[in-house]
């Protein structure tokens, strides 16, 4: 067996250019699989985390009559005395932070620009506001006692042509169905890296949002972040006896399941195309090698080498190509994926509803060790299997015909 392996390596060296070309075809296939899978995997993970941090939380506590597709300030759709519920939730070990939020629809006006958007009343000191605080581009976060300050997204500020210190006119729906109008000052601008959200959301202190909408001591939801998102179903089950809706992040991000299924199907087809093309190149290379070495195969058969040994010899050549190509591909793929993991690739505004599934403007690749092993094993295995065709051709040759160059 060792002798066959040495012979196969020597035979590959007879035409190094063709052998290297075959190995590089596999290497490029592995590299592209790693990069593609890394970007898809990174987008799924990144979008899920963005949606949890900015929109859904790990859990939400809602009024029993609350409907997600309708921003309502009716008393039956709001939570009364939210601070009491926040205190109860905060006492639970799995809960990292719980905070009330009030969602309001409104219109912002500046000069000739008028835009419909969502105003979110938040507790300024809550840890849950970290994405907005960390994303501050200019100015400062409004304080709890600020009655005229708001925080707006950079895309919205650019569209309205305003900056920190400028005034905006807000028209806001109230709980009694009227419209409240007030001028606010831009205290700061933020960027979460998700244009779909940043261009449509204004933040103001919860107390001010409650006052202007006449919903004092009420909130739309209790936004909850856990120590571990996998604990969400267990915590939700423990809270089901309460007179509220308890909704997990998986329930809220209903688009995620469809998105994941689509990405899995796309990844499968990419695997098929990449590995199929690679297999064709390798099979073609080895079939040409078999035809060029027909007389050699005949001599080996005449000297007593059995068909299975001839088959093993050519199969070993495939093994060398598979090993070299896979290893080089892993190195190239690792470097390229690492670059995309650090710097990402900018896609801009996806134009999706910010209440469905938040996709960041910049995508970052993400691969686990298990993902790399899977790609390496599949690529290596498919390449080996493709070697059965030329190896079988060589093993089936009749010695006499082979000695005459394949002619009877």
pLDDT confidence of residue 215 = 93
- Beta carbons of 226 and 94 less than 8 angstroms apart: yes
**If you ran DSSP here, which 8-state letter would residue 206 be given?**
H
- Tell me which residue of 18, 80, 36, 3 sits closest to 379, measured CA to CA: 36
Residues 6+ apart with CB under 8 A from 6: none
Average confidence (pLDDT) over 253-272: 72
Average pLDDT on 237-243 reads 83
Distance CA 406, CA 408 (A): 7
Residue 303 confidence (pLDDT) above 70: no
Q: Give the mean pLDDT of 77-87.
A: 93
Q: Is the pLDDT of residue 336 over 90?
A: yes
Mean pLDDT, to the nearest integer, of 163-167? 95
Measured at the alpha carbon of residue 143, what is the angle toward residues 205 and 175, in degrees to the nearest 5?
Answer: 15
Within 13 Å and on the Cβ side, how many CA atoms surround 328? 16
Angstrom CA distances, 170 to 74, 209, 227, 351, stand at: 20, 12, 37, 24
Average pLDDT of the chain is 84
Average pLDDT over residues 248-274: 75
Asked if the model's pLDDT at residue 300 lies above 60, the reply is yes
- Sequence spans of domains, the chain: 2-52+256-403, 64-243
| Residue pLDDT, tens place only, 364-379 | 898 889 889 988 998 8
DSSP β-ladder status, 149-153 and 179-190: parallel
Across the range 49-61, mean pLDDT stands at 90
Q: What is the mean pLDDT of residues 125-136?
A: 95
Task: Give the mean model confidence (pLDDT) for residues 177-202.
Answer: 93
Strand ranges inside 256-397, DSSP E:
345-346, 362-363
For residues 322 and 380, the answer to whether their CB atoms sit within 8 Å is: yes
pLDDT of residue 1 exceeding 60, the answer is no
What's the pLDDT band for 408 if we cut at 50, 70, 90?
Answer: very low
Find the mean pLDDT for residues 65-86. 87
- Which of 25-29, 69-73, 140-144, 359-363 is predicted most confidently? 140-144
pLDDT tens profile 187-199: 999 999 888 889 9
**CA–CA gap between residue 372 and residue 100 (Å, rounded):** 42
205-219 in b/e form (b: 16+ CB < 10 A) is: bbbbbbebbebeebb
- The answer on pLDDT for 241 being more than 80 is no
In this prediction, residue 176 has a pLDDT band, given cuts at 50, 70 and 90, of: confident
- 354's CB contacts (< 8 A; 6+ apart) are 55, 194, 196, 197, 200, 201
Q: What is the mean pLDDT of residues 374-398?
A: 76
Nearest Cα residue to 124 out of 134, 133, 116, 135: 133
């Amino acid at each position: 067996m060792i002798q066959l392996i040495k012979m196969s390596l020597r035979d590959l060296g007879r035409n190094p250019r063709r052998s290297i070309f075959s190995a590089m075809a596999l290497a490029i296939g592995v590299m592209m699989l790693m990069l593609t899978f890394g970007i898809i995997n990174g987008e799924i993970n990144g979008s899920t985390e963005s949606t949890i941090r900015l929109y859904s939380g790990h859990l939400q506590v809602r009024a029993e009559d609350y409907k997600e597709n309708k921003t309502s300030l009716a008393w039956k759709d709001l939570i009364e005395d939210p601070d009491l519920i926040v205190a109860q939730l905060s006492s639970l070990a799995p809960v990292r932070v719980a905070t009330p939020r009030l969602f309001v629809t409104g219109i912002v006006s500046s000069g000739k620009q008028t835009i419909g958007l969502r105003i979110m009343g938040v507790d300024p000191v809550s840890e849950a506001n970290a994405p907005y605080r960390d994303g501050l581009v200019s100015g400062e976060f409004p304080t709890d006692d600020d009655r005229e300050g708001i925080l707006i997204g950079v895309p919205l500020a650019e569209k309205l042509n305003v900056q920190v210190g400028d005034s905006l006119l807000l028209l806001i729906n109230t709980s009694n169905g009227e419209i409240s109008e007030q001028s606010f000052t831009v205290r700061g601008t933020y960027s979460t890296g998700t244009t779909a959200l940043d261009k449509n959301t204004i933040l103001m202190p919860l107390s001010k949002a409650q006052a202007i909408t006449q919903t004092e001591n009420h909130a739309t939801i209790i936004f909850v972040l856990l120590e571990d998102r996998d604990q969400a179903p267990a915590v939700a089950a423990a809270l089901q006896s309460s007179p509220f809706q308890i909704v997990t992040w998986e329930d809220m991000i209903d688009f995620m399941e469809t998105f994941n299924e689509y990405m899995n199907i796309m990844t499968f087809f990419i695997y098929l195309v990449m590995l199929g093309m690679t297999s064709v190149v390798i099979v073609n290379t080895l079939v040409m090698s078999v035809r060029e070495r027909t007389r050699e195969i005949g001599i080996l058969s005449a000297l007593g080498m059995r068909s299975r040994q001839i088959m093993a010899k050519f199969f070993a050549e495939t093994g060398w190509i598979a090993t070299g190509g896979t290893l080089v591909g892993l190195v190239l793929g690792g470097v390229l994926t690492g670059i995309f993991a650090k710097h990402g690739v900018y896609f801009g505004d996806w134009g999706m509803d910010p209440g469905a599934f938040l996709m960041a403007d910049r995508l970052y690749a993400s691969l686990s060790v298990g993902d790399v092993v899977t790609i390496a094993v599949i690529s290596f295995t498919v390449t080996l299997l493709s070697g059965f065709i030329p190896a079988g051709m060589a093993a089936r040759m009749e010695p006499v015909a082979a000695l005459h160059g394949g002619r009877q």
